[in-house]
Chain A
Amino acid sequence: MLRSERKSLRRFLVLYMLLMLGLFALGSLLYYRSQEQVMLLQTKSRLMDYAAEQIRRLKRLHEHFPQQNRYPRDPRFRSAIYDLEYVKIFSTLRDGRVDFLGDIYSVGDVIHYVKILDNYYLGAKYLFVEVPRDRSWQQAVLGRIALAGTVLGILLALLGYSLARLFVRPMRQSIRLLDDFIHDTTHELNTPLSSILANIEMIDPAAMKEGDRRRLERIGVAARTVSTLYEDLKFLTLERHRPVRDERFSLDRLLKERLDYFEVMLRSKQLELRTDIAPVTIRADRRLLARLIDNLLSNAIKYNRRGGRIEVSLRPGSLRIADTGVGIDEEALEQIFERYRRFDSSEGGFGLGLDIVKRIADRYGFVIDIRSRKGEGTEITLSWKAEEE
C-alpha cells in the first residue's frame, strides 16, 4: 500500500470513527435518559403514595398546631414543605436543591417528587418527597451501552475499513496501472541505455573536433539523466524486494564517486560545485545510499538555474546538499515526498526521486530537513545518530 493511500485510508477511518463515535454517544445519551425516565416513572407511583400519607399527617398537624409541633417523619422517605412564595417552612431533605416545576427529578444521589397541595396545611403549597436514588438500573443500562458499544464498534470499524478500501480503490487502480506501465517500460529501457552509455565511454573525446566533443558531451548528459531515471524505476519496480545487504563502508568515497558521475551534467549546466567532505563511515546498503545521493544530486542539478551553485557538505552524522534553483513553495513542502509528485513541470521525470529518498531515509532512521524558498533554492540536510556510523 502506498504512503498516500495509507494516509487517505487513515484520514477516512479517523473521520468515520469520530462520526460514528459521536452518533453512538448521542444514541447512548438518549437511551440513558429514556431509561432514567422509565425508572423515575416507576418510582413516581410509590412517591405519590408517600405524598398522600404525608399530606394526611400535615392536615392533622395543622389542626393541632401549636399544641403539636413535631413535623411528621417517615423512615421510608424524607420531605419538605414550602409556601406559595417558595419560602421553606420545614425540611428534612438530604439534598436541598429543589425544583418547584420539576414533578419528579433526580438531583445528586436522590430523587425528588413535588406535590402541589390543594389545601395549604401549615401554609404549605409545595410538598417535596425525597428517596435515595436506586443505582441498580444505572449499572444495568451502562452495561447494556458498553456491550452494544463494543459490538457496534467492531462492526462499524469493519464496515468503515471496507468502505475506505472501496473508496481508495480507484486511486489504487490508477497507481497500479502506472506502476505496471513503469515496470514494463523499465525492462525495455535497460538494453539500449547500457549500449548508449558503453559506447560513449569507448569514444576518445581527444580525437574529436571541438563541436563534436560538445555534442558527445550533451549525449552523455542526456544518457546519464535517463540512466538515473532508469535506476529509480528499477529500484521501485524490480529491486524493491531484493534483500538489503548492510555493510560498513566509506560514505565520503561513495559521495565523491557519485559527484564524479554527475560531473558532466554539472559542467553542461555551468554549475559551480562547492564541497566540504569529511571522512565518514556508515553501516548501510551501499546500493541504497547511492540511490539516495543520486536523487538528491540529480534534483539539485535538474532544478538549478544555469550558472548556479551546488554545495555538498558531509560531516559525521549529516549530509547537506543545497542548490540555488527554483525552490518550492512552503505549502507544497508537506507533499514533497509523495510519489509522482512534481513541482516543476519544466523538467522531465516521474516524481519518483524524493519518494525513494524518503523510503531509504526512513529505513535507516535518517531525519530529513528541507528548507526552500521559491526562486532562491533548496537545502536538504539528512542527519543521523553519529553512533550509527
Chain B
Amino acid sequence: MRKMVLLFLIGALWGGSFDRNCIPCHRKEGVSLRLTFMNALLIYSGEHNMKAGLKYFLRHPSRETSVMGEEYFRTHRLKAPLTLPERELDEALDEYWERYKVIGRLR
C-alpha cells in the first residue's frame, strides 16, 4: 500500500499533464478512464472530433454533453468546470488519446 502511494506521488509530481491532472481525480471519483474513452469513442469517433468534444465538456460540463449517460449520474455528481490552462489541457487530451486509442491496436 505504501508502495502504491509512493508511485502515485512520483507520477503526480514527475508525470505528464494527463498523469497530474486527470488520473488523480478519476481515481478519486472511481471512474475508469478506459470506460470514459470507449464511451467517448462511441460518440465522437475520430481523434480531433473527440478531443474537441471532451475539451468542450471539461470546460462546460453538463449532463447533456457528458459521454457517461443518465445511469452514471445516479451515483455520481457532475464535475466542476475545469480551469486548467489551455496548453496543459491539450497535452492531457493528446496523451489520453495516445494511451487508449484503438487505431494500431487491433490485430
Interface residues of A (CB under 8 A from B): 62, 65-66, 69-71, 83-85, 87-90, 119-125
CB neighbours (8 Å) of A62 from chain B are 38, 41-42
- Known interface pairs A88-B103, A119-B42, A120-B45; 17 further A-B residue pairs with C-beta atoms within 8 A, sorted by A's residue number: A62-B42, A65-B102, A66-B105, A69-B105, A69-B107, A70-B106, A71-B107, A83-B47, A83-B103, A85-B45, A85-B46, A85-B49, A89-B102, A90-B103, A120-B41, A120-B43, A122-B102
Q: Is B57 an interface residue when CB atoms closer than 8 A count as contact? A: no
CB neighbours (8 Å) of B44 from chain A are 84, 120, 123
A197 vs B34: C-alpha distance when bound (angstroms): 123
Q: Is B63 an interface residue when CB atoms closer than 8 A count as contact? A: no
Q: Which of A65, A87, A88, A89 contacts B38 (CB 8 A)?
A: A65
A65 vs B104: C-alpha distance when bound (angstroms): 13
Nearest B residue (CB) for A59: B42
Q: Is B48 an interface residue when CB atoms closer than 8 A count as contact? A: yes
- 8 Å CB interface, B11-56 against A: 34, 38, 41-50
Total A-B contacts with CB atoms under 8 angstroms apart: 58
A85 vs B50: C-alpha distance when bound (angstroms): 11
Answer whether A71 and B103 are a contact pair too, CB < 8 Å, given A84-B44, A125-B45.
Answer: no
Q: Which of B46, B103, B105 contacts A84 (CB 8 A)?
A: B46
A348 vs B106: C-alpha distance when bound (angstroms): 97
CB neighbours (8 Å) of B46 from chain A are 83-85, 87, 123, 125
Answer whether A87 and B47 are a contact pair too, CB < 8 Å, given A70-B107, A71-B107.
Answer: yes
A124 vs B47: C-alpha distance when bound (angstroms): 11
Answer whether A121 and B42 are a contact pair too, CB < 8 Å, given A84-B49, A89-B102.
Answer: yes
CB neighbours (8 Å) of A70 from chain B are 106-107
A38 vs B77: C-alpha distance when bound (angstroms): 56
The residue among B38, B106, B107 with the most chain A CB atoms within 10 A of its own CB is: B106
Structural contact, B45 and A83, CB atoms closer than 8 A: yes
Nearest B residue (CB) for A126: B45
A-B contact pairs, 22 of them (CB 8 A): A62-B38, A65-B38, A66-B34, A69-B105, A70-B107, A71-B106, A71-B107, A83-B47, A84-B49, A85-B45, A85-B47, A88-B103, A90-B103, A119-B42, A120-B41, A120-B43, A121-B42, A123-B46, A123-B50, A123-B102, A124-B45, A125-B46
Total B residues in contact with A, Cβ cutoff 8 Å: 17
The residue among B38, B42, B49, B105 with the most chain A CB atoms within 10 A of its own CB is: B42
A125 vs B74: C-alpha distance when bound (angstroms): 30
Structural contact, B49 and A87, CB atoms closer than 8 A: no
Nearest A residue (CB) for B43: A120
Structural contact, B41 and A90, CB atoms closer than 8 A: no
Structural contact, B42 and A89, CB atoms closer than 8 A: no
Q: Which of A83, A85, A90, A120 contacts B106 (CB 8 A)?
A: A90
A88 vs B46: C-alpha distance when bound (angstroms): 10
CB neighbours (8 Å) of A124 from chain B are 45
Give the Cβ gap from A116 to chain B, nearest Cβ, in Å.
Answer: 11
Structural contact, B45 and A84, CB atoms closer than 8 A: yes
CB neighbours (8 Å) of A66 from chain B are 34, 105
A87 vs B41: C-alpha distance when bound (angstroms): 14
CB neighbours (8 Å) of A83 from chain B are 45-47, 103
A124 vs B49: C-alpha distance when bound (angstroms): 13
Nearest A residue (CB) for B101: A123
Nearest B residue (CB) for A117: B45
CB neighbours (8 Å) of A69 from chain B are 105-107
CB neighbours (8 Å) of B105 from chain A are 65-66, 69
CB neighbours (8 Å) of A87 from chain B are 46-47, 103
Give the Cβ gap from B52 to chain A, nearest Cβ, in Å.
Answer: 11
Q: Which of B43, B106, B107 contacts A89 (CB 8 A)?
A: B106
Q: Which 8 A-B pairs have the closest CB atoms?
A: A85-B46, A84-B45, A120-B45, A84-B46, A83-B46, A123-B41, A90-B106, A71-B106
Give the Cβ gap from B68 to chain A, nearest Cβ, in Å.
Answer: 15
